[in-house]
Amino acid sequence: MSQIPAFVALNADGVQLIVALSSGTPVILHFGADLGSNLDVEQLNLASQEAVPHADLDDHINPGVWREDARGFHGRPSLLGHSTGQRWASLFTIKDVAKGSDSIEIVCIDQTAALEVSVAYELANEGVLKVTQRVKNLSSEDYSVEELNAWLPLPDHATETMDFTGRWVKERQPQRREIQVGTWSREIREGRSGHDYTIVQLAMTPGANYQTGEVWSVGLQWSGNTRHLVEKLPTGRTSIGAGELLLPGEVILASGEEYVAPSLVVSYSAEGIDGITDRHYRWLRSRPNHPSVVRPRPLTLNVWEAVYFNHNLEKLTQLADVAQSIGVERFVLDDGWFGSRRNDQSGLGDWVVSKDVWPGGLKPLIDVVKSRGMEFGLWFEGEMVNPDSDLFREHPDWILQVEGRTPPKGRNQQVLDLTHHEAYDHVFGQVNALLSEYDIAYIKWDHNRTLTDAAHFGKAAVREQTKAIYRLFDELKLRHPGLEIESCSSGGGRIDLGMVNHADRFWTSDCNDALERQYIQRYTQYVIPPEMLGSHIGPTESHTTHRTHSLQFRAISALFGHAGLEWDLTQTTDEERAALKSWAQYYKSNRSLIHTGRMVRIEQSDDSAFVHGVVAQDKSRAIFALVALRAMPASTPNALRFEGLEAGASYRVKLVEPAGEANYIGRQSPKWFDGVVLTGAALARVGVRPPILAPENAVLIELERI
């Protein structure tokens, strides 16, 4: 065993983690802004010691990262577990410390409880901290793990939190509150991260906004059941954390076995929420297999809202012809091509091309698509099965279920037990066979119901089910190099920092209503970059809200993502096709900026408009959108400002209309539309006067350094 240092620290990109080890347990002294190279950490530790109030222990003991009752801590501990009622109380002391250039691993042990735990901190170049904890059973008796949450202390001046709630077709809606005494827990128990999932939870200084204030974020690299936590004790101290939500008996460790909890992704920004966004984008984009690093994100047509279950070669050929004329690069055939699947009542689980619909197989359609210069994609929902299917009739025991009862159906389907190796082999085998037979570059993988009674032969199985879908995606990609996978779960029901490592794209929401998408995309993009988020132009009348929007508004809303279309293009007019072609070309010309630049959101004094954009990393170019969400409170709108530019440089500012003219309701538009030149400082502090837009309209503004 190496000598235990008194302190260890990690620094990267203006972020610092300092951990004290001198008390025998790891104590986080600081996570946030870099405190400087001349900091005396021993003096910081001395300054951080608490006073001792009345009605407390005789001496203050910092409980450290394990938050143990044995050290006098009465909040929520990091580890909860037991062995038939014993070994529930721990007192871990440091056994070993391994320090690398960008990582620290601290191993602790409790000989009495016969448990070993470790925490590993890894600080990426972009200032994003990954925290991974594990627990190992050293006893000959089984040990049941109930919780293993990772926590970080928050400074006293972090007094507000923000997380996100939602539902189908209205995902990721923010809720912000003051941190008060008690434990705030956001729990997901539906077996997937879900529409109500908070991809990250934020802690903020008072009034922090997009550009200013300090912000801390915590997200979990997991797609199953989760728990996000904020706790403020009566002492006044506050912590933020998260962990996998384990169902009873899900993790029982035999002698020598260990449980490795899903990693936390933690970030800090001294430049508001946009600073958190920037760190996450740079961190994800640094991966060699990140989608936009591999190749530009192809303009996509998904045919679901064009044909639904009504598949025929003639109609789809017509769609392909129009798609080609517009400039579409990827054509995706959605639900209805397999087994008895003529509606949502039957066929799931039988991943064999239907001879009734496609007597010649999928090759004729794929040939049509490929001959028109597009790649072909195909829809699956491999984790599900209809009771009316060959698979279910042959293997009714292959669903997640508690013995003696069948879970209630959701969308006329049950959940296939992928922890059952034969069920897994069935799904993998049939999907793999299709990918081997046909030229399929992309699959859209759906997940349309929550998990209920999610048991494998009586034992809770959400954890293993989640690991199984990760493994399935990874094995398909290994067998078929270049294959891309879109994760769809009733739209945006499984978007998280775990699935980003296995999928290349997320279907952001089943709602293509452009107004709703402005909100959904805005908050999903807090930490998931636009190139991973499907954003499509839907029909004139929205499928989910029955609201009508102009093509111009729908096109601008779809631009800031991995753009595409979901519309019966054969019903479009010549004028609409010309606008779509112009917009498609604009997307292709600017996706390199949209998918690599820094996301910037401009704080507004009222909620009638959004202003957001993307600024090139070298600050040479930017594209911003002004979005009129509702009627303005005043007769003329507030100034349109642009942040994130080089203060001393001059920029030419002009309005662009790649998909047609917006609906202006003023008598006269501003005179700068054709171009005006201002410095970055002037654009950030003064800005330009915007046009008067009708509600649910938008305009694009380009800025170029000269």
CA 557 to chain centroid: 19
Hey, is 571 helix, strand or coil?
helix
Task: Give me the helices (H) in 505-657, please.
Answer: 514-524, 551-559, 574-594
**Beta carbons of 626 and 611 less than 8 angstroms apart:** yes
The residues that are catalytic are 446, 510
In sequence order, the 6+-apart residues with CB closer than 8 A to the CB of 15 are 31, 32, 33, 34, 123, 127, 129, 267, 268
**Burial classification of residue 319, based on how many CB atoms lie within 10 Å of its CB (0-12 exposed, 13-18 middle, 19 or more buried):** buried
What are the start-end ranges of the H helices in 261-362?
A: 272-285, 291-294, 304-307, 313-326
Q: Quote the radius of gyration of the chain (alpha carbons, Å).
A: 27
Which structure tokens are listed for 676?
Answer: 């005006």
Task: Report d(CA 350, CA 343) in Å as an integer.
Answer: 14
* Cβ neighbours, 10 Å, residue 90: 23
Kindly list the distances between the CA atom of residue 140 and the CA atoms of 143, 301, 380, 595, in Å, as whole numbers in the listed order.
9, 57, 44, 53
Nearest to 164 by CA among 154, 174, 156: 174
Neighbour count for residue 12 (Cβ, 10 Å): 17
Coil, helix or strand at residue 43: helix
Instruction: Label the pairing between strands 375-380 and 442-445.
Output: parallel
Residue 693's contacts (CB-CB under 8 Å, 6 or more residues apart) are 626, 628, 637, 662, 663, 664, 665, 699
Contacts of 626 (CB under 8 A, 6+ apart): 609, 610, 611, 640, 690, 693, 698, 699, 701
Strand 697-705 and strand 621-628: pairing? antiparallel
340: Cβ contacts below 8 Å, ≥ 6 apart: 346, 347, 350, 354, 388, 389
Count CB atoms within 10 A of the CB of residue 248. Answer: 9
Count the helices and strands in the chain (H runs, E runs).
13, 38
Which DSSP category does 251 fall into?
Answer: E
